[in-house]
Amino acid sequence: MNDDDILISTRELRRVYREGARVHAVLSDVNLDIRAGECVALLGRSGSGKSTLLNLLGGIDRPDHGSIVFDGKPLHALPERDLTLFRRAHVGFVYQFFNLIPTLTVAENVRLPLELNGVKADAIGPRVVQELERVSLGDRQQAFPDQLSGGEQQRVAIARALIHRPRLVLADEPTGNLDAETGQQILDVLTDLSRQQGRALIIVTHSLAVAEIANRILTLSDGRLTTAGTRIAW
Ligand SMILES: Nc1ncnc2c1ncn2[C@@H]1O[C@H](COP(=O)(O)OP(=O)(O)OP(=O)(O)O)[C@@H](O)[C@H]1O
Ligand SMILES: [Mg+2]
């Protein structure tokens, strides 16, 4: 592996939850290197810490011990404000239950990351149209989320996750709430768009079919990662 290509690395990553006197180490020693342009599937049984790990990589949560380095920048040491700016600029999230804002239209949901990143208002409209066309929803801009099917809502969520051109895309069971066929379509859209644009993509999944399209499969168990397989091309 060429070290220059590594986008995000973790070393000795530890995350502990405390409930009263009980201490539960969800992640005890996670070491990970993700390259730019790579697609990684993250497997593990329910409760193994997959979402916890994504939240750490995406700067939503902080580790109790260890390092997370993104393009040379130590996320674990950043002040809160800088961590927020990092997240807005460089990370796109896709969730199982879409997480669209129900009172905003499709276009308003998709434009949010650009507004948060301070993109000028007159530059936003055309980018929203372009991003929605990429997910074949150019004609649904004024719809509200509850007027869309699950698969359509997830395509809106993908447009929202990619519109600010993040270098890292984190998808937490993006097909978990969809039927198999729609799930496959969503996966194709997510992986195609990420690959075209050279983004690193980490997909949490319970499905081996999903994992088959990834370059690498990582499994979390007992607070650690194991590698199940590596594929050069995808
Ligand atoms: N805020 C919290 N406080 C206490 N415990 C937590 C908290 N968040 C997560 N946990 C615990 O950490 C463990 C890992 O949770 P996590 O959500 O990361 O698992 P997961 O692998 O994503 O599971 P699933 O496949 O069900 O989504 C679980 O035992 C969970 O109960
Ligand atoms: Mg989870």
**CATH no. for residue 223?**
3.40.50.300
Does 157 reside within a domain? yes
Does 130 reside within a domain? yes
State how far the Cα of 223 lies from the Cα of 61, in Å rounded to an integer: 16
Per the structure block, which two tokens stand in for 108?
Answer: 């308003």
The pLDDT of residue 233: 47
Q: What are the C-alpha distances in Å from 154 to residues 84, 116, 121, 136? A: 24, 21, 25, 12
The pLDDT of residue 227: 81
Q: Which domain holds residue 87?
A: 37-62+79-230
Does 68 reside within a domain? no
Q: Which atom of ligand 1 is nearest to the CA of 54?
A: 18
Per the structure block, which two tokens stand in for 11?
Answer: 């070393």
Does 182 reside within a domain? yes
The pLDDT of residue 230: 56
User: Closest Cα to atom 8, ligand 1: which residue?
Assistant: 52
The pLDDT of residue 204: 95
Note the ligand closest to the C-alpha atom of 50: 1
Q: What contacts 93, CB < 8 A, 6 or more positions away? A: 58, 99, 161, 169, 170, 171, 172
The pLDDT of residue 209: 72
Does 125 reside within a domain? yes
Does 86 reside within a domain? yes
Number of domains, the chain: 1
**pLDDT tens-digit map of 170-211:** 999 999 888 888 888 899 889 988 888 889 999 998 877 777
The pLDDT of residue 234: 45
Q: Which atom of ligand 1 is nearest to the CA of 173?
A: 27
Helix (H, G, I), strand (E, B) or coil at 45: coil
Ligand 1 centroid–CA 193 distance in Å is 29
97 lines ligand 1 (CB under 6 A): no
Low-confidence ranges of the chain (pLDDT < 70): 1-4, 228-234
Does 199 reside within a domain? yes
Ligand 1 centroid–CA 51 distance in Å is 7
Q: What is the DSSP letter of 233?
A: -
Does 147 reside within a domain? yes
What's the CA dihedral at 36, 166, 151, 189 to 10 degrees?
-40
